[in-house]
Amino acid sequence: MSVERSVVMIVDDDKSMRRAARRLINSFGLAVETFASADDFLTSGRIEATACLVLDVHMPGLSGLELQSHLIASEYHIPIIFITAFADETAQTQALAAGACRYLVKPFEEDDLLDGIRQALQRQNLTLRGEPPS
């Protein structure tokens, strides 16, 4: 897994989820930063450094879907992997239609998250090179 700017950002209000995902992603040599809310992420000044966003759907304040909409409206094209504890077909359809790479329902397999991150980083590499993602 490589990308010119390869910081994976995790936005999830569940501290244990942030910690577990951080350890897993770090074990593959990727830089990871975590945020407890969408607002924390937006005010961090780290949007430009984001190669991939692992994003919880349901959080206090801005939801993951609202953050996705905000990023798209602001013309940030960040590959997103949604994670959620609640299977919601409408939310899944909305997230994927707006360009999310994956939509994972907890508990999910670690390999599913890592495969989603690989896919997201490949998509980001194409974007940075000016090529359309496939």
Q: What is the pLDDT along the chain (134 residues), one digit of tens a residue?
A: 433 457 999 999 999 999 999 999 999 889 999 999 999 999 999 999 999 999 999 999 999 999 999 999 999 989 999 999 998 999 999 999 999 999 999 999 999 999 999 999 988 876 666 665 55
Paired tokens of 96: 């994927």
pTM recorded for the entire structure: 0.89
CATH superfamily of 8-126: Response regulator (3.40.50.2300)
Q: What is the pLDDT of residue 10?
A: 98
Please state whether beta strands 50-56 and 7-11 pair in parallel, antiparallel, or not at all (unpaired).
parallel
Q: What is the pLDDT of residue 92?
A: 96
Question: Could you tell me the CA-to-CA distances from 67 to 7, 12, 22, 45, 71 in Å, in that order?
Answer: 18, 12, 20, 15, 6
